[in-house]
């Protein structure tokens, strides 16, 4: 088992990213080691234990959210990392990028209310396949974290949606418990807030755990989620 301070973590940075430094601070706070910030024009990645694609508005969300970022030079290195079984986390815009690469199935449509949403939501941890992103979180645990998106309405065809559900690939679902608005903020199918790949090594989610790492930020449930992921990857 490696120590958290020896973990090698890379955070990808695109023009328009705005959560890369938030994620860097969160990871450094939890591991004691500052992760690398990797510019989108890089064509390779140093050996890493986790790649993180943060939130923001990569390339201004032109064309489609995440579409241009998914074609950046660094993504070839991310795909190679995934092919070797490497762990990848995408948050908000990072989730959108992962869908555009095909590492995760489905699309994120405009919110059902056709409005940008920025508030806290509550999610349930689901009973998933073996995945480092959920294995240290008890099924049914409720986590409150912020969302901030205009396109978070997860959609996939009925057959693929049924397979996600049956295979245990739904990691997080929006649930009651928030006094800030409807439990499902965006109309996402089956209240999906996050999913994992078939091998459990790639995870995308809309809520921002890096924005909920201390009581001073309104809550620390995001730290609970990230800590669980990091400890699972280190074990």
Active site residues: 92, 208, 210
Which token pair is 116?
């940008």
What is the secondary structure of 121-142 as a DSSP string?
A: EEEEEP--SS-TTTTTS-TT-E
Q: Are 19 and 56 in contact (CB under 8 A)?
A: yes
Distance CA 180, CA 122 (A): 10
Strand residue runs (E) in 73-165: 87-91, 107-109, 117-125, 142-149, 153-155
Q: What are residue 121's phi and psi, to 5 degrees?
A: -130, 160
Distance CA 123, CA 178 (A): 9
Angle between helices 73-83 and 93-101 (to 10 degrees): 70
Question: Closest Cα partner for 223 from 208, 202, 235?
Answer: 208
């Amino acid at each position: 088992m490696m120590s958290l301070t020896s973990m090698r973590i890379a955070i990808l940075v695109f023009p328009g990213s705005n959560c890369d430094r938030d994620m860097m601070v969160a990871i450094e706070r939890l591991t004691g080691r500052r992760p690398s910030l990797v510019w989108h024009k890089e064509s390779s990645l140093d050996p890493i234990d986790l790649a993180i694609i943060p939130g923001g508005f990569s390339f201004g969300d032109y064309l489609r959210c995440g579409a241009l970022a998914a074609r950046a030079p660094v993504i070839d290195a991310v795909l190679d990392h995934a092919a070797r079984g490497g762990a990848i986390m995408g948050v908000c815009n990072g989730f959108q990028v992962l869908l555009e690469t095909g590492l995760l199935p489905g699309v994120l449509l405009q919110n059902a209310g056709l409005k940008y949403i920025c508030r806290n939501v509550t999610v349930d941890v689901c009973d998933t396949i073996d995945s480092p992103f959920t294995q240290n979180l008890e099924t049914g645990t409720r986590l409150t974290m912020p969302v901030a998106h205009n396109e978070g309405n997860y959609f996939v065809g009925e057959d693929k949606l049924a397979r996600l559900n049956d295979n245990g690939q739904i990691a997080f679902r929006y649930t009651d418990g928030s006094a800030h608005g409807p439990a499902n903020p965006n109309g996402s199918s089956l209240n999906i807030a996050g999913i994992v790949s078939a091998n459990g090594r790639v995870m995308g989610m809309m809520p921002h755990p890096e924005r909920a790492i201390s009581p001073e930020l309104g809550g620390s449930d995001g730290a609970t989620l990230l800590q669980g992921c990091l400890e699972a990857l280190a074990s």
